[in-house]
Amino acid sequence: MSPVALSVALLAIAASFSNSLANAQDGAVATFPATPLASKHFAYPTGLPYQADSEHLLRGTQTGYNQCNSTTEGQNSLCQTSFVNSADDFCLWAPIEPNSLISNTEGEEVAWCTKPGRGTRVIPEGTLKGIQFMRTPDYVQVVGFIDQTKINIADGDFGGELDPHGADLRGNPLGGLMYSNAWSGNNNTFQQVIEWHNFMGGNAFCIKVCDPSKSHAADYCQHIFDRIGCAYNAPNNAQTGVFESCQGENQDFPGVYTTNGQVVTYTQPPESLGAISTMPYQPRVPASSNCVQFQSTALFAALASVTAAPGVSSSSSTSASVSATVTGSATGSAAVSSVTGSRGGSAASSGTPSGTAQGANATSNDASVVMMSGLVSFIGVVFSALFLS
């Protein structure tokens, strides 16, 4: 093929992601699907395909499936159909096998949810250490602190970003689909979410799903700033030990900031240039209002019956206890949820009553949780430090 023909072919590939052209060019396994994942639309639940990505391409085949039901339900589920609905009803993407690194498994993550009933895994009790659900005009977002070992993320992994794009447009995980009832006006009516992002790692997470009817969904749920974490992609005031649902204003588009009256878009350096050690801006945390705090046991009652996989080493196995704050009560009753997990799945609970009012953070002997709760006002910094290190 002449250089001119070759570049024409490459342009055509870039423009259309055509497998046939890619194959004709070098005979290798193609990289791109005929249709990017973010362009595939399926009604829930009737229109769900067995796999949204049925291709055999460079990154292999989709690991799990999108048709999830009572047969697939449970801690071995490979369901890759996920939801973000409300403070008590959302899923996170996490690995299939214990002790995994997000970077090694990003193509294969499965849905772990706060509610059973949709054919997925359930987030084990004791995983969630504090969450903030935020509803804004253009998106809903959940940010929180976790014991990530309970959802198969290796202790110490700073993780990375999952989104429906990826370098090959097949998504991470491949074929992962997202739905929400946040804008349908009916809890039983789910819309497909086309633009979303989920950062997992550093014992924290953020997941944002953007209202598909809004013109800036792709901007608020931007997926290209995968190295700068929750602080820059989902600026927030989430606190460990606090479980709350809020309304808020929209954040700035991730990576876009205003300095000296000028709107600037950040350019993320490639990994080949090494760690990102400085940032030219601090993200603006948007105003929020009407935050309602809950006891974690009230939000996540369904999780009590689920334990982490046997043999999962937990960083907070001995005496972690999470208590929710009780707003507006100086003598809030203790809300202690027992923690199971580790120790071969046997119960290892020890409740520490701690339900005082405002400012109560996780009551725990776990050094890392205590350290985090001492830094609640600098959560953004903590997040960015994690992702920049």
Ligand X SMILES: *[C@@H]1O[C@H](CO)[C@@H](O)[C@H](O)[C@H]1NC(C)=O
Please report, as ranges, the residues that interact with ligand X according to CB under 6 A.
50, 65, 67, 69, 71-72, 86, 88-89, 187
Alpha carbons 143 and 163: distance in angstroms, whole number: 16
Q: How far is the CB of 89 from ligand X (least distance, A)?
A: 5
DSSP state of 340: B
Task: Give 65 or 232: the residue with its C-beta nearer to ligand X.
Answer: 65
Beta strands of the chain (E only): which ranges?
81-86, 89-94, 110-113, 121-122, 128-135, 139-146, 160-162, 177-180, 191-192, 196-201, 204-210, 243-248, 256-259, 262-265, 288-294, 322-323, 336-337
Alpha carbons 84 and 208: distance in angstroms, whole number: 8
Alpha carbons 123 and 304: distance in angstroms, whole number: 10
Task: Give 72 or 141: the residue with its C-beta nearer to ligand X.
Answer: 72
Short-list 133, 142, 137, CA closest to 250: 137
Helix then strand then coil, % of the chain, to nearest 5: 20, 25, 55
Task: Give 50 or 378: the residue with its C-beta nearer to ligand X.
Answer: 50
Q: How far is the CB of 85 from ligand X (least distance, A)?
A: 7
19's enclosing H/E stretch is helix 19-26
Task: Give 78 or 386: the residue with its C-beta nearer to ligand X.
Answer: 78
Torsions phi, psi for 243 (to 5 deg): -120, 110
Q: How far is the CB of 379 from ligand X (least distance, A)?
A: 25
Task: Give 89 or 163: the residue with its C-beta nearer to ligand X.
Answer: 89
Task: Give 140 or 376: the residue with its C-beta nearer to ligand X.
Answer: 140
3-state secondary structure at position 81: strand
Q: How far is the CB of 135 from ligand X (least distance, A)?
A: 11
Q: How far is the CB of 8 from ligand X (least distance, A)?
A: 41
Q: How far is the CB of 245 from ligand X (least distance, A)?
A: 9
Half-sphere exposure of residue 98, counting CA atoms within 13 Å on the CB side? 16
Alpha carbons 348 and 340: distance in angstroms, whole number: 5
Beta 121-122 vs 160-162: how paired, if at all? unpaired
DSSP state of 30: P
Task: Give 135 or 208: the residue with its C-beta nearer to ligand X.
Answer: 135
DSSP state of 98: T
Q: How far is the CB of 70 from ligand X (least distance, A)?
A: 8
Residues 60-65: contacts with CB within 8 Å, 24+ apart?
Answer: 60/107, 60/174, 61/174, 62/173, 62/174, 62/175, 63/96, 63/107, 63/108, 63/110, 63/173, 63/174, 64/96, 64/108, 64/110, 64/173, 64/175
Q: How far is the CB of 187 from ligand X (least distance, A)?
A: 4
Q: How far is the CB of 221 from ligand X (least distance, A)?
A: 21
